[in-house]
Amino acid sequence: MRPVRVKYLGLLPITRGTYLALQFIVLLLCIAMMVVGMSVMLRTGRYYPHLPDTSVQDDLIYEGLLALFWLGVLILVAEGIETIVMLRRFSRAAADQKARVANIETAEPVPAAPSAPAVQPPPSDLPNTNIQP
Read off the pLDDT band of 63 (50, 70, 90): confident
Q: Determine the pLDDT at residue 2.
A: 83
Instruction: Please indicate, yes or no, if residue 128 is contained in any of the structural domains.
Output: no
Name the DSSP letter for residue 12. E
| 86 φψ region: left (φ > 0), alpha (ψ -120 to 50), beta (else) | alpha
Instruction: Please indicate, yes or no, if residue 113 is contained in any of the structural domains.
Output: no
Q: Based on the structure, what is the number of domains in the chain?
A: 1
Average pLDDT score over residue span 11-21 = 93
- Give this prediction's pTM: 0.69
- Percent helix / strand / coil, the chain, rounded to 5: 60, 5, 35
Report pLDDT digits (tens) over 24-60. Answer: 999 999 999 999 999 988 988 887 777 767 677 777 8
Read off the pLDDT band of 124 (50, 70, 90): low
Contact status, residue 6 vs residue 14, Cβ threshold 8 Å:
yes
Average pLDDT score over residue span 17-22 = 94
Instruction: Please indicate, yes or no, if residue 23 is contained in any of the structural domains.
Output: yes
Query: Which residue segment(s) compose the domain that 32 sits in?
Result: 5-105
Instruction: Please indicate, yes or no, if residue 115 is contained in any of the structural domains.
Output: no
Instruction: Please indicate, yes or no, if residue 68 is contained in any of the structural domains.
Output: yes
Instruction: Please indicate, yes or no, if residue 110 is contained in any of the structural domains.
Output: no
